[in-house]
Amino acid sequence: MEFNTFTFVFLFAILTSVLALLWLNFRQDKAIKRSFNEVPNGFKETITLEDHQKAGNYTKAKLLVNHFEIIFSTFIVLVWTIGGAMNWLDVFWSQRISNPILMGTTFIASIMLIASFIDLPFSIYRNFVLEQKFGFNRMTVKTFTADLIKEILLTLILMIPLIYAILYLMNISSIGDYWWIYVWVIISLFILTMMWIYPSFIAPIFNKFDPLDNDALKSRINNLLERTGFGSDGIFVMDGSKRSSHGNAYFTGIGKNKRIVFFDTLLKGMEDKEIEAILAHELGHFHHKHTRQRMISSFIFSLASLALLGYLINQNWFYNGLGVAEPSSHTALVLFSLALPVFSFFVTPISNLVSRKHEFQADAFAASHTDANDLISSLTKLYKENSSSLSPDKLYSAFHDSHPSAVLRIERLQ
Ligand SMILES: [Zn+2]
């Protein structure tokens, strides 16, 4: 096996993306320092200097962890590929399991397990050091361990049959070169099923969901749903406080199986009319069909990716360039899923640009069906409670942020 031109293209892309990410982080850090001693205009009455500086310190601490994560995860990708780890694992399993589909499934499952253990120290640090230090962590070691075990079991139960089915389709000769269309259908059906069963079957494995028992708020919400022409199969409160004091709200599920979920941490400290405004924002996403648009574009993206994989799977340079000697369906799948993010990295700003446009549209929808001032005050509370930075760097924000900055959102609402 020899490295080739593709090895260098891959190395160049990965190096460029790492440098770009570190440079953006550095800019963000500078922007936080610059505004550290003054609360940005528009927030002087609602956010104290102390809160603002806490948000600044929190953002800087998160950036520091992120530096390490960027460098470390790149190192891991390189070890898997040109470092030869994947090739070694491929040889290891092929000497033990002769059925190619079973062998491929074992190969992929073992990579997923190893990857989740590599990620473990970062996840421990984030929860028990970083979040703890700023007073956001509510997770006990017991919850953390239980979550980890549940996640691993759930992934194995759901993913192994899916991977097996994908490898089976890739290996039957009767569908020939068009296997990727069949695989795409299977993956799309899998995702739709997950979205459908998530609210009622998967989310309750991790959290408790109680029906909202605040009658005044409930009638406000039902009134809003009626005004805006929505239906739902229930309003629930989730025990988010089990893990973190960060608050959130979401509207989940597809078809008739839709639920409105509020974190208990969000309900605390918000007035009813502010909660109504937050929900109106979420409904705005549905009204403008953002959720559907996102889903359709991700299906198109996955079809295009699979078509590309359909081509790459027959190219020896693709395997050899990424450190794998023996072409196979399972190595092609893993190499592709490692290499794709390196190249699609350069598309992230576009997807975030669309997302920020959607946020403005949802805000406008909320403002037309509830009082804009309620959304402003609830957003301000959210930024304060979550210690979100009010003065991000423009380029950093353009690249990373799926939501417009607080200053821009509130300016528009006014
Ligand atoms: Zn939104």
Chain segment 109-145, per-residue pLDDT in tens: 999 999 999 999 999 999 999 999 999 999 999 999 9
**Both structure tokens of 188:** 């799309």
Q: Which amino acid is at 407?
A: V
SS3 category, 323: coil
Give the model's pLDDT for residue 269: 83
CA dihedral 35, 37, 41, 45 (to 10 degrees): 150
Provide the strand spans (E) within 97-245: 209-211, 235-238
85 CA from centroid of ligand 1 (Å): 41
Q: Compute the mean pLDDT over every residue in the chain, rounded to the nearest whole number.
A: 94
Give the model's pLDDT for residue 232: 80
Give the model's pLDDT for residue 214: 92
Return phi, psi of residue 207, to 5°. Answer: -140, 160
109 CA from centroid of ligand 1 (Å): 35
Give the model's pLDDT for residue 257: 61
**Both structure tokens of 306:** 């699979």
For residue 298, give its domain range. Answer: 1-414
273 CA from centroid of ligand 1 (Å): 17
Annotation marks residue 282 as catalytic: yes
43 CA from centroid of ligand 1 (Å): 21
pLDDT tens-digit profile of 248-300? Answer: 888 877 766 678 899 999 998 899 999 999 999 999 998 999 989 999 999 99
Q: Which amino acid is at 316?
A: N
Q: What are the residues facing 137 on neighbouring strands?
A: 244
**Residues of the chain with confidence (pLDDT) below 70:** 1, 255-257
58 CA from centroid of ligand 1 (Å): 23
363 CA from centroid of ligand 1 (Å): 8
Give the model's pLDDT for residue 278: 94
Give the model's pLDDT for residue 391: 86
Say which of 274, 282, 359, 385 is annotated catalytic.
282
Q: C-alpha distances in angstroms, 78 versus 11, 86, 338, 342?
A: 9, 10, 10, 11
How many folded domains does the chain comprise? 1
Enumerate residues with CB within 5 Å of ligand 1 (an ion): 359, 362
Give the model's pLDDT for residue 256: 62
Residues 6 or more apart whose CB falls under 8 angstroms from that of 155 comprise 112, 116
**Continuous segment of H or E residues that includes residue 262:** strand 259-263
Give the model's pLDDT for residue 41: 86
Give the model's pLDDT for residue 255: 66
Give the model's pLDDT for residue 311: 96
SS3 category, 304: helix
358 CA from centroid of ligand 1 (Å): 7
